[in-house]
Chain A
Amino acid sequence: EAGVTQFPSHSVIEKGQTVTLRCDPISGHDNLYWYRRVMGKEIKFLLHFVKESKQDESGMPNNRFLAERTGGTYSTLKVQPAELEDSGVYFCASSQVSGGQETQYFGPGTRLLVL
């Protein structure tokens, strides 16, 4: 079974540019999460999809971030325009609730550097 995949693995852009990150969850997983880790700090929750619907987007930093999950399969996270403080590693995770329990499985992350 394929795991969670993310594209690109790395992205270096200039301040003011746009970047779109993609996440492909494990097939059949309804839950999809985006997280971000800024250097040396904790992994912070950004948002949570259940299928194509946003369950919780309370962690989104501001309106420069837009996440979509059309069709309830893969998801994209767009940052427009990017700022220096957006640099970090963006993780995607997916899960399926079974018996009331849930374990999130993570992708390798996208390392974003904004110059």
Chain B
Amino acid sequence: AQSVAQPEDQVNVAEGNPLTVKCTYSVSGNPYLFWYVQYPNRGLQFLLKYITGDNLVKGSYGFEAEFNKSQTSFHLKKPSALVSDSALYFCAVRDSAGGYQKVTFGTGTKLQVIP
């Protein structure tokens, strides 16, 4: 069975500092990996995904994530945090095997950017 772990319930970072939101995964085959963000009172918004190719994936709002196969991780990063980045972030994985594959989400990490 596939799974996603987001070990931190909350991450606090000062505005302007780099941020990292951690995600590790477990899947039987090769993974497709996703990050979504949920702003207060809003739905989930797609940020970025890793399918294949370059391990460093760039997404919306200046976010990027690095796929590390040996560590089975897909940490979300941003060089300089903004107060407006404060939100709930979800990592998700699905198996890349052909046909229908279910997406599994993590429990979410609340990012608080402090002015």
Contacts and interface: CB of A to CB of B under 8 A. Distances in A.
Contact of A45 (B36, B44, B103): B103
Nearest to A107: B43
A42 B46 contact: no
A62 interface: no
A103 B107 contact: no
Given A40-B107, A41-B107, A106 B100 contact: no
Interface of A: 4, 6, 33, 35, 37, 40-45, 48, 55-56, 91, 93, 100-101, 103-109
Contacts of B92: 43
Interface of B: 4, 32, 34, 36, 41-46, 49, 51, 90, 92, 98, 100, 102-108
Contacts of B43: 4, 6, 91, 106-109
A106 B39 CA distance: 13
A106 B45 contact: yes
Contacts of A40: 107
Contacts of A43: 44, 90, 92, 105, 108
B44 A56 contact: no
Q: Which DSSP category, helix, strand, loop or mixed, fits chain A's interface?
A: strand
A93 B43 CA distance: 10
A103 B49 contact: yes
28 contacts: A4-B43, A6-B43, A33-B103, A35-B105, A37-B108, A40-B107, A41-B107, A42-B104, A43-B44, A43-B92, A44-B105, A45-B103, A48-B100, A48-B102, A56-B100, A56-B102, A91-B43, A100-B98, A103-B34, A103-B46, A104-B103, A106-B43, A106-B44, A106-B45, A106-B46, A108-B41, A108-B43, A109-B44
A56 B94 CA distance: 15
B49 A42 contact: no
A45 B102 contact: yes
Contacts of A105: 46
A42 B32 CA distance: 18
